[in-house]
Amino acid sequence: MDLKLPTASQIKGKRVIIRLDLNSQETDKIHYRLLSTQKTISFLLKNKAKTIVVLAHLGRPESDKHSFKINQFDLYNEKLSLKIFKGILSKLFKTKVFFFKYSIFSDKFDKYFNAKKLPRIILLENMRFYLGEDNNDINFAKRLSTIGDVFIDEAFSVCHRKVATNTAITKLLPSFFGFNYLLEVKNLDKVLEKSKNDLIVIVGGAKIKDKTEIIMKFINKSSYILIGGGIANSFIRAAGFEVGRSYFDEMPIPNFNKLDFNKIILPIDFKVLDSNGSTKYKMNSDISTTDRILDLGNLTIQQFINYVKKSKFILWNGPLGYIEDERFSIATKSLLEFIKNDKNRKYVLGGGETLDSIAQMAPSIFKQKNVFVSTGGGAMLWYLSKKLKN
Ligand code: ADP
Ligand code: MG
């Protein structure tokens, strides 16, 4: 892949379509992902791009029961509308932002974009409101491409998925990458050169389907894979343990019986919420049908930290528990505390809620020299798994 930034002359006077990742939690006071888009947007404004059309996504409308087909959107969902970003972006980029709330398949779209004079920055509605996005549909991309002269991909965190706004569209317009995308690639490549040995991968969070496949790619490339968070529930359930009312994925884990569990390390105890609404610490084998597993137990936390101590290079994506509730953020917080005080090992951390937990629990990590914080979670793991040779 030829990763190129556009030059000033390639964007001057042009209508630039840019794919961003705006998924930034309200509790991420640092807004790491939003800030990471700023350099490219400033570059476009300064070098007189005529209009900047922002494409982005929010959440997963296809798996939300409140999404419905309306007004030429396939999956409209008020809660996942990007309209809230109009004010945020306009403050961040110090320029007025217009939010175009209609579908790209509406007559209003043609009419609006046919006008001679357009605002400097236009934000389109959530790209995942269209089935064409996830299907990498060329006709969907064609519709978007009619309003731009060039395309810039500044959404590193989506690079592990082939979607219309990072793949199909590049077949239709001269395409480039943004500053942050290139910075991610440069930093991740640098980390790999220095830290090929004694790698461990820690994966938590909730996107089981997304992440299991990527985790498997590390089996021959790392010493251990530690699994926590919601993902661990699916694994221990597959191993025959009760998980009660915990979050898990119905989909079977591919080739589960062939996995090497000397390498894949599963939790041995948990902090659960029981049917009376009280919290309890339980071993794997003691989970009851009404319990909800929401955090790792103390033995597992200690075990995970011991694995970290034995390694030199640690990749971590996904919170180890339900961090939205303070009672269940202990595992995530303990690991962050360890990292915060460790100057000896190399760390690469990334992911939406992972950034959020760093911002809330240990913000000094953003500035720590031996830690690279990536805007991508699944994307970061995917990129590294492709590049690592063992
Ligand atoms: P990231 O964005 O960092 O890649 P994910 O999106 O995969 O992470 O998952 C983050 C979410 O996982 C958080 O909102 C957190 O509450 C949830 N989570 C972690 N552990 C559990 C658990 N045991 N039960 C339910 N949800 C969990
Ligand atoms: Mg997330």
Each residue's pLDDT tens digit, 285-335:
999 999 999 999 999 999 999 999 999 999 999 999 999 999 999 999 999
- How many percent of the chain have pLDDT more than 90? 83
Instruction: Name the domain count of the chain.
Output: 2
244 lines ligand 1 (CB under 6 A): no
With a 6 A CB cut-off, is 353 part of the ligand 1 pocket? yes
SS3 content of the chain, % helix, strand, coil (to 5): 40, 20, 40
User: Among 126, 155, 177, where does a domain finish?
Assistant: 177
Higher pLDDT, 312 or 209: 312
Both 217 and 364 in one domain: the answer is yes
Q: Are residues 151 and 28 in the same domain?
A: yes
Mean pLDDT value across the chain: 94
Task: Determine if ligand 1 sits within 6 Å of the CB of residue 245.
Answer: no
Across 58-87, average pLDDT: 94
For residue 174, how many other CB atoms are within 10 A of its CB?
Answer: 14
Residues 121 and 221 in one domain: no
**Mean pLDDT across the stretch 165-191?**
95
Query: Residue 390: what pLDDT?
Result: 64
Residue 389 has what pLDDT? 73
Assess if residue 234 is contained within a domain: yes
Q: In this structure, is residue 2 part of a structural domain?
A: no
Q: Tell me which residues have their CB within 5 A of the ion that is ligand 2.
A: 352-353
CA distances 148 to 11, 13, 39, 122, 154, Å, are 11, 11, 20, 12, 16
| Together in a domain, 172 and 251 | no
Read off the amino acid at residue 345: R
Distance CA 310, CA 298 (A): 19
Decide whether any atom of ligand 1 lies within 6 Å of the 159 Cβ. Answer: no
Q: Are residues 192 and 167 in the same domain?
A: no
Question: Is the CB of 64 inside a 6 Å radius of any atom of ligand 1?
Answer: no
Residue 373 bridge partners (DSSP): 349
Ligand nearest to the CA of 319: 1
- Average pLDDT value for residue range 356-380: 94
What spacing in Å lies between the alpha carbon of 308 and ligand 1's midpoint? Answer: 21
Q: Is the pLDDT of residue 1 over 60?
A: no
Closest-CA residue to 9 (of 121, 150, 182, 115): 150
Any atom of ligand 1 within 6 Å of the Cβ of 228 = no
Q: Specify if 355 maps to a domain.
A: yes
Q: What is the pLDDT of residues 93-127, one digit of tens each?
A: 999 999 999 999 999 999 999 998 999 999 999 99
Indicate the residue among 150, 177, 204 that finishes a domain.
Answer: 177
Beta strands at 150-154 and 15-20: parallel, antiparallel or unpaired? parallel
CB 297 near ligand 1, within 6 Å = no
Residue ranges making up the domain that contains 85: 8-177
Could you tell me if the CB of 273 is within 6 A of ligand 1?
A: no
Which one-letter DSSP state was computed for residue 12?
T
- Domain-terminating residue out of 177, 197, 231: 177
The residues near 115 (Cβ < 8 Å, ≥ 6 apart) are none
Determine the residue of 237, 323, 324 to mutate for testing ligand 1's pocket, defined as the one with the most ligand atoms within 8 A of the Cβ atom.
323
In a domain, 130, yes or no: yes
Ligand nearest to the CA of 204: 1
Per-residue pLDDT tens digits for 255-293: 888 899 999 999 999 999 999 999 999 999 999 999 999
Q: How far is the CA of 162 from the centre of ligand 2 (A)?
A: 18
Same domain, 23 and 171: yes
Tokens of 93: 């980029």
The answer on 172 and 242 residing in a single domain is no
CATH of the domain at 35: 3.40.50.1260
- DSSP SS3 for 76: strand
Residues 105 and 230 in one domain: no
Q: How far is the CA of 352 from the centre of ligand 2 (A)?
A: 4
The DSSP call for residue 239 is T
Task: Report the relative pairing of strands 279-283 and 175-177 from DSSP bridges.
Answer: unpaired
Same domain, 142 and 19: yes
Question: Is 123 inside any structural domain?
Answer: yes
CA distance 358 to 340: 10
Do residue 151 and residue 236 come from a single domain?
no
Residues 88 and 62 in one domain: yes
Instruction: Give which of 63, 65, 58, 121 is closest to 93, Cα–Cα.
Output: 121
Residues 209 and 295 in one domain: yes
12-30 average pLDDT score = 87
